Structure 1
Amino acid sequence: MKTLLTQDWNSLFDVNIWLAAFAQIIFSLSIGQAIIYTYVTYLSEETRLIDNVFMVVLANSIYELFVGLGIFSILGYMSVTSSIPMTELISEGTSLIFVALPEIFEVMGPIGRIVAPLLFLSVLFAGFTSSLALYEPLLLSVCDKLNWSRRKGVTVLAVIACCGSLLFSTGISSYLVEIVDTLSMNLES
């Protein structure tokens, strides 16, 4: 038990873990860059853009650090109480949100039954807003380049996106998520 605590405690001082955490923060900010470029074209000249950008980056970074500390504190508690090393408690991919967090909500009792739907609803909205953040700049570019109306551009891109997303509803969806995640992380670096 003492070895397990020492091992988990020492991992807090591992520079690579902190670099990976900051890389994730930068990655989440870079997804929003495309939509920011599009929406900034609609702002008035008097908008204090640097102040707004600073507030978005600061709020995003603080939120992600807060959530990361909370999640890994809970995982550390689960690791100590079950005597399973944290590296074996969860694996990469979607196991954190779809395996570990439901177990945490189960332990929380009645409060977990309130928090769990709120978390998964926020994940749903995060998915929608991220999709729109990636969709809008592409739509604007396609409509400008091909001289299409917005309605035609939305229709064509929506059909293409629906056909592509059908792949993620098949039996190989978890493998596709890992491939896309790995590919997108390698493109960032």
Structure 2
Amino acid sequence: MGMYYNTIIGWAVYYLVASLRTQLPWTSCHNPWNTPNCTPIFSPPTNNSVSPATEFFQRSVLEQHRSDGLDRMGAIKWSLALCVLAVFILVYFSLWKGVKSTGKAVWVTALAPYVVLFILLIRGVTLPGATEGIRYYLTPQWHQLKNSRVWIDAATQIFFSLGPGFGTLLALSSYNKFHNNCYRDAILTSSINCLTSFLAGFVIFSVLGYMAHVQNKTVDKVGLEGPGLVFIVYPEAIATMTGSVFWSIIFFLMLITLGLDSTFGGLEAMITALCDEYPRLLGRNREVFVAVLLVFIYICALPTTTYGGVYLVNLLNVYGPGLAILFVVFVEAAGVCWLYGVDRFSKDIECMLGHKPGLFWRLCWNYISPLFLLMIFVFSLLSYEEMLEGDYVYPKWSIAVGWVLTASSLSCIPIYIIYKMFITKGSFIQVK
């Protein structure tokens, strides 16, 4: 995940640097990267018209037109590679000392986005058309519940925002005291996470409503999924506001801090696990180990900074953590709740907190969570072809490589189970 996620943060760094001028570069069509199809926002669109924000992202930031896709990705774009390097340097100096340095960095990266969110919310709701955008956001579309993709996207969003299955929660909680109130922490963090997502929806859709008002469209015709929403639609909206340079700077600062927050957690999980497993070799030389690890990941990430890197980013996003994390979380839930047993797990929590979890939690652990996760995983497998959206058709060999990438994560679990059975003394079935 570190091979492509930090590249996306690098895109935000590129936008931040590009915003440090008197006029945002994606406001006009008079730049070297623009094509004859470029049409300013307030001009009437034609059949082949392309917005300046779209061309800036595709032809200036990514320069994907200089690539033929995964078959010929082109050279490394060094300005983008330098932006990604800056991200890795920030990550290193936040992780090199362990939770002490990470904790200090998180105070900034976790709290700063809330300040920016509220500033953008106040600005967003005052824009013309914001009411329509918010109304669209709050109006349920019940028929979408029949769409399996909606459930897959929702589950993926929760996994990426809360972090179950990545090892982040296990790594960070391993530093807690034995009697730490994990029940309170779980309720608090999950509630704050969901409320933050709900708040961010108002920020996004108020601006989408404004864009629909400006372009004389309906809200559903304005928005894009994935990077397009963050790097095309929102910057395009910012470009039409008074004081656009200021809004652009704080928006991309928020994106960078949010991205760094996620990167800290994921890498800390891996670093903590390896340092705990090899305390003499790695634990005592943490600074050197973290530096070597990040240099290795940066070298692996360089292909994503090529002209065709965006195609690789999409492939890694789908076949890297996308499918694997669903399976990992299901195995975790099944392993704890069905093999270890909910009763034993409840007694462990009682030993820590002084009371057993309620009936609701035991029902969730025993039935609802594992079965729901299994269902989502099966739906993901059946609809994997829909995940690689866009005009570009991925070659068959890349899909095969993607499945190998997914299998590399999935296979670790059954292989380790078999390995553990062989090295453990005693009979296969032992009753205690």
Distance in 2 of aligned mates of 1:103 and 1:79: 12
Asked whether the equivalents of residues 159 and 165 of structure 2 are also in contact (C-alpha less than 8 Å), the reply is no
State the SS of the aligned residue for 2:167: helix
Q: Which runs of 5+ in 1 are unaligned?
A: none
Distance in 2 of aligned mates of 1:124 and 1:159: 20
TM-score (structure 1 length as normaliser): 0.78
For 1:37, give the aligned amino acid. Answer: L
State the SS of the aligned residue for 1:108: coil
1:102 to 221, 224, 235: 235
C-alpha RMSD over aligned residues? 3.0
TM-score (structure 2 length as normaliser): 0.37
Deviation at 1:51, TM superposition (A): 0.8
Distance in 2 of aligned mates of 1:78 and 1:155: 44
State the SS of the aligned residue for 1:92: coil
1:95-134 equivalences in 2 (<5 Å) = 95-110=228-243, 112-134=244-266
For 2:273, give the aligned amino acid. Answer: S
Deviation at 1:67, TM superposition (A): 0.9
Deviation at 1:57, TM superposition (A): 0.7
Report how many residues are paired.
182
- Relative to its length, the structure with more helix (as a share) is 1
Asked whether the equivalents of residues 102 and 116 of structure 1 are also in contact (C-alpha less than 8 Å), the reply is yes
Distance in 2 of aligned mates of 1:80 and 1:57: 35
* Pair 86,173 (structure 1): closer, same or farther in 2 beyond 3 Å: farther
1:23-34 equivalences in 2 (<5 Å) = 23=155, 24-30=157-163, 34=167
Q: Which runs of 5+ in 2 are unaligned?
A: 1-131, 327-376, 378-432
**Runs ≥4 residues deviating over 4 A:** 85-88
Q: Percent identity?
A: 23
For 2:167, give the aligned amino acid. Answer: A
Match of 1:156 in 2: 292
Give per-residue Cα distances to partners, 1:141-164, cap 9 Å, x unaligned.
223445522234313312211111
* Pair 144,41 (structure 1): closer, same or farther in 2 beyond 3 Å: closer
* Pair 179,32 (structure 1): closer, same or farther in 2 beyond 3 Å: same
1:173 to 294, 309, 312: 309
Give per-residue Cα distances to partners, 1:76-130, cap 9 Å, x unaligned.
34235424455553443311111111122123312x4333212211211222222
Asked whether the equivalents of residues 224 and 233 of structure 2 are also in contact (C-alpha less than 8 Å), the reply is no
* Pairing 1:82–2:218 present: no
